[in-house]
């Protein structure tokens, strides 16, 4: 999809999404809401959220030396 020179970004739906996110208490429902609402936007083809779990990136984390939980970073998953 090509964006024309007269395209004006619409921010109201993003503002509404942020307000609705503040009301959601379930992480699963929150993530589903974010993905579905972003995917509804006309210039978005795909929306995906990747979750990182504990120790998933410890070996390559740039903040590893400052991490308060060094013990977990050295364990094998």
Q: Looking at residue 1, what is its pLDDT? A: 62
- The single-letter DSSP state of residue 60 is G
- Cβ–Cβ < 8 Å for 40, 16: no
Q: Is 41 exposed, middle or buried (0-12, 13-18, 19+ CB in 10 A)?
A: middle
- The arithmetic mean of pLDDT across residues 52-77, rounded, is 70
24-51 pLDDT tens trace: 999 999 999 999 999 888 788 888 898 8
Residue 5 has pLDDT above 80, yes or no: yes
Greater confidence (28 vs 70) lies with 28
Q: Is the pTM of this model over 0.85?
A: no
């Amino acid at each position: 999809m090509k964006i024309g020179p007269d395209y004006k970004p619409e921010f109201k739906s993003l503002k509404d999404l942020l307000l609705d996110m503040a009301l959601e208490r379930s992480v699963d429902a929150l993530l589903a809401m974010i993905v579905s609402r972003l995917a509804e936007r006309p210039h978005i083809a795909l929306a995906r959220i990747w979750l990182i779990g504990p120790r998933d990136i410890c070996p390559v984390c740039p903040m590893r030396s400052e991490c308060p939980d060094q013990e977990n970073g050295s364990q094998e998953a």
